[in-house]
Amino acid sequence: MQLDAKIPGGPIAEKWDRHLFELKLVNPANKRKYDVIVVGTGLAGGSASATLAELGYNVKSFCIHDSPRRAHSIAAQGGINAAKNYPNDGDSIWRLFYDTVKGGDFRAREANVYRLAQISNDIIDHCVAQGIPFARDYGGLLANRSFGGAQVSRTFYARGQTGQQLLLGAYSALSRQISDGNVQMFARREMLDLVVIKGQARGIVVRNLINGQIERHDAHAVVLCTGGYGNVFFLSTNAMASNVTAAFRAYKKGACFANPCFTQIHPTCVPVHGTYQSKLTLMSESLRNDGRVWVPKDPGDKRPSRQIVEAERDYFLEEKYPSFGNLVPRDVASRNAKEQCDMGKGVGETGLAVYLDFADAIKRDSKAVIEKKYGNLFQMYEKITGEDPYETPMRIYPAVHYTMGGLWVDYNLMSTIDGLFVMGEANFSDHGANRLGASALMQGLADGYFIIPYTVGGYLAGTEFADVTPDHEAFKETENDAQSRLTRLLAINGKRTVDDFHKELGLIMWDYCGMARNNEGLEKARKLIQQLRAEFWENVTVPGTGQDFNQSLERAGRVADYLEFGELMVLDALARQESCGGHFNEAYQTKGHEARRDDENFCYAAAWEYTGKEAEPQVHKEPLIFENVELSQRSYK
Ligand SMILES: Cc1cc2nc3c(=O)[nH]c(=O)nc-3n(C[C@H](O)[C@H](O)[C@H](O)COP(=O)(O)OP(=O)(O)OC[C@H]3O[C@@H](n4cnc5c(N)ncnc54)[C@H](O)[C@@H]3O)c2cc1C
């Protein structure tokens, strides 16, 4: 397989405009002849469905939830980046582009990132026009705050509910199209497989989660917007229903999976507090605008935080990174927090936490100001921990949060299967080895509102399609395969629950393929996952039937995929013998314990191709060529 990223020629700032002109168009009257399936209704899928339908395509939109607006995007708290430069503090499209490439530790494709920075400004205009209640300053201009890895304030926000407000905007646009009859909405459907006919994605097979019916849906193109796979770790900040299933099954049908080992561990989450926990809670990065991170200077110091005076505290991020301070990128902040805890300076009962302290900000700005900025986050923290963060510092620890890896896509966001497009967190496209805060919402909406409407059109206009209906043999086969997998899961009748397997897998992934990795641990993880997978297919218990609402069956299918996908992550981590961004192999670090890249040998995106059940997947390498940003050791000092 030859990966062709289809990057347009010309200077980077002109590539997208040039491409827009070169893409073929579908004339308005012909658009209604095309059906497009969009799987997922988060910010990427919701915006794509609405926009494609607005253009005139027949859209079929699918989601797992009972309502499109329950997609995980609703959880996004802190904000969305754009290069508007409203605060006049030196921002520009170029700076956002540069920060994103550098933040991703030089493992993203320059052309895509530049386009993202360009489009960022259109997103804000679009969302303001929709009525998104972004925070404003006293003069009425949209307010901005800072996120990690940037020295400017470019993050637009709606208190701590930015994702919710943006999703309501996309959902309103989608609802308008549903009521106009241009979008057929299929809620409570889980995509079980992709149907590929003559090399083209022509449909999907889904399970109706309420009555268990398997359904076939055909189209001329399929757009996957199914989110990230952080839940492979069991504990993560992702919504419970986030999964890898749709992407992984597309991988098995020929879509390459890129950089699966690139996982983001977010530094500011409520620490794990028990073995019965199934979810971790994010404390938004925006809090690091005002909160100061510290630990006691002396290892083992267990005094209450307020008894530890200034001279006895180690503000380790401010000390080590004076330029960026508490707002270093997530991978850097997380590793440093872990390092402090490994030295015995962690706080709280488990010693696996550091403080995020607002005392100085409250003294400086007043409690009322801090409450206005972060009130809902403080309330959430207090509800979970029983501690009042206005009085005592928050305790935070890194947790799995986002996955930079995803299905490989070219500049048109098309995968290695013709007609299968992938957007939002489900693709690998824009964030390299580490995503900067507030850039996921930007990417999802750029993909959905501004890129896919053009590139899908370009594909449809330039492609010949055979007549295909759901009676086609390929649909029958795909449905049979999906059905027999469900039947097999229900028939095992073993002794361990699905969650039990998931927890064990999560621990393996966290211990050996988490914040720090080494070759020995990765080799061990691979064997452990293989053993666990074998046991799963012998000993899992899935109660109930397939002809009914059955959440155990849903979860069993997803965990079965994670048990295969986890191994692919480990394989990818093993193959990448360097450290970069969120992929930290302990053998490759600088003297200051930063990730040490090997640009000579690993400056590529690794795209894995499925080659069969018992066969090793094959890696294809897309070289990353940096013509506009100089490759350098990242420094936030
Ligand atoms: C707690 C939290 C806070 C965050 N805060 C921010 C922030 O402030 N700023 C920022 O930029 N980013 C933030 N992020 C990241 C960001 O929210 C996500 O990356 C982004 O929302 C993903 O959007 P998406 O549209 O790609 O996918 P999602 O919103 O995850 O949507 C996935 C959709 O796919 C559907 N789906 C999945 N699998 C299937 C299947 N098999 N069949 C059918 N449907 C399926 C789901 O039902 C859903 O509709 C945050 C993440 C978390 C966890």
Three-state SS for 583-597 is ECECCCECCCCCECC
- Catalytic residue selected from 115, 216, 249, 330: 330
Ligand 1 contacts CB of residue 80 (under 6 A) = yes
Q: Is 435 in the pocket of ligand 1 (CB under 6 A)?
A: no
For the Cβ of 402 lying below 6 angstroms from any atom of ligand 1, the answer is yes
Per-residue pLDDT tens over the stretch 55-78? 999 999 999 999 999 999 999 989
Cβ-based burial of 382 (10 A; exposed 0-12, middle 13-18, buried ≥19):
middle
Helix (H, G, I), strand (E, B) or coil at 414: strand
Residue closest via CA to ligand 1's atom 15 equals: 440
Q: What average pLDDT does this structure show over 513-519?
A: 96
Please tell me the distance from the alpha carbon of residue 166 to that of residue 476, in angstroms, as a whole number.
39
- Distance of alpha carbon 314 from the chain centroid: 32
Measure 424 CA to ligand 1 centroid, in angstroms: 8
pLDDT for 251 beyond 90: yes
What is the pLDDT confidence band of residue 144, given thresholds at 50, 70 and 90? very high
Task: Report the nearest-CA residue for atom 3 of ligand 1.
Answer: 76
Looking at CATH, the fold of the domain delimited by 12-262+404-461 is given as FAD/NAD(P)-binding domain (3.50.50)
Is any atom of ligand 1 closer than 6 Å to the C-beta of 120?
Answer: no
Strands (E), 94-218: 155-156, 183-186, 189-197, 200-208, 214-218
Amino acid 20: pLDDT? 97
pLDDT at 300: 93
Confidence of residue 633 (pLDDT cuts 50, 70, 90): confident
Give the model's pLDDT for residue 215.
98
Q: Would you state the pLDDT for residue 580? A: 97
Is 330 assigned a catalytic role? yes
Q: Which of 441, 447, 561 to mutate to test the pocket of ligand 1 (most atoms within 8 A of CB)?
A: 441
Instruction: Give yes or no for residue 635 having a pLDDT over 90.
Output: no
The alpha carbon of 96 and the centre of ligand 1 are apart by a number of angstroms equal to 22
Strands 394-403 and 354-357: antiparallel
Give me the pLDDT at residue 273, please: 84
Residue 315 burial (CB count, 10 A): 16
Ligand 1 center from residue 532 Cα (angstroms): 28
pLDDT digits (tens, 9 = 90+) for 82-120: 999 999 999 999 999 999 999 999 999 999 999 999 999
pLDDT at 160 over 90: no
Q: Quote the CA–CA distance of 505 and 612 in Å, as a whole number.
A: 23
Each residue of 342-400: pLDDT tens digit? 999 999 989 999 999 999 999 999 999 999 889 989 999 999 999 999 999 999 999 99
**Which residue's CA is minimally distant from atom 52 of ligand 1?**
76
Residue nearest to atom 53 of ligand 1 (CA): 238
Closest to 411 in 3D by CA, of 457, 461, 451: 451
Residue 481 CB partners (closer than 8 Å, separation 6+): 193
What is the model's pLDDT at position 111? 98
Answer whether 508 contacts ligand 1 (Cβ < 6 A).
no
CATH of domain 473-603: 1.20.58.100
Nearest alpha carbon, ligand 1 atom 13: 76
| Rg of the chain (C-alpha set) | 24
pLDDT value at 592 more than 90: no
What 3-state DSSP class applies to 268? strand
Q: Above pLDDT 90, what percent of the chain?
A: 93
Per-residue pLDDT band at 637 (split at 50, 70, 90): confident
48 CA from centroid of ligand 1 (Å): 14
Average per-residue pLDDT in the chain?
Answer: 96
Determine the Cα–Cα distance for residues 573 and 577; give it in Å rounded to an integer: 8
Q: Is the pLDDT of residue 276 over 90?
A: no
235 CA to centre of ligand 1 in angstroms: 16
Question: Does the Cβ of 482 fall within 6 Å of ligand 1?
Answer: no
Best mutation site among 70, 73, 251 for ligand 1 pocket (most ligand atoms within 8 Å of CB): 73
CATH for 266-400?
3.90.700.10
Amino acid at 356: L
User: What's the average model confidence in pLDDT over 400-409?
Assistant: 97
Cβ of residue 225 lying under 6 Å from some atom of ligand 1: yes
User: Can you tell me which atom of ligand 1 is nearest the CA of 285?
Assistant: 8
Ligand 1 within 6 A of CB of 78: yes
406 alpha carbon – ligand 1 mean position (Å): 13
Q: Residue 437 — very low, low, confident or very high, per pLDDT cuts 50/70/90?
A: very high
Domain extents in the chain: 12-262+404-461, 266-400, 473-603
Q: Beta-carbon neighbour count of residue 27 at 10 Å?
A: 9
Asked if residue 40 has its Cβ within 6 Å of ligand 1, the reply is yes
**Distance from C-alpha of 537 to C-alpha of 395, rounded to nearest angstrom:** 40
- Ligand 1 in reach of 347 Cβ (< 6 A): no
CA of 67 to the centre of ligand 1 (A): 14
Over residues 569-588, the mean pLDDT reads: 97
Residue 81 clears pLDDT 90, i.e. is over it = yes
**d(CA 614, ligand 1 centre) in Å:** 32
The conformation of residue 435, written as its DSSP 8-state character, comes to P
Mean pLDDT, to the nearest integer, of 326-343?
93
C-alpha distance from residue 2 to each of 39, 90, 416, 620, 623 (Å):
27, 41, 9, 8, 12
Amino acid at 512: Y
pLDDT at 342: 93
Q: Is the CB of 440 under 6 A from ligand 1?
A: yes
Nearest residue (by CA) to ligand 1, atom 19, is 440
DSSP state of 427: B
Contact status, residue 561 vs residue 540, Cβ threshold 8 Å = no
Q: Per-residue pLDDT for 274 more than 90? A: no
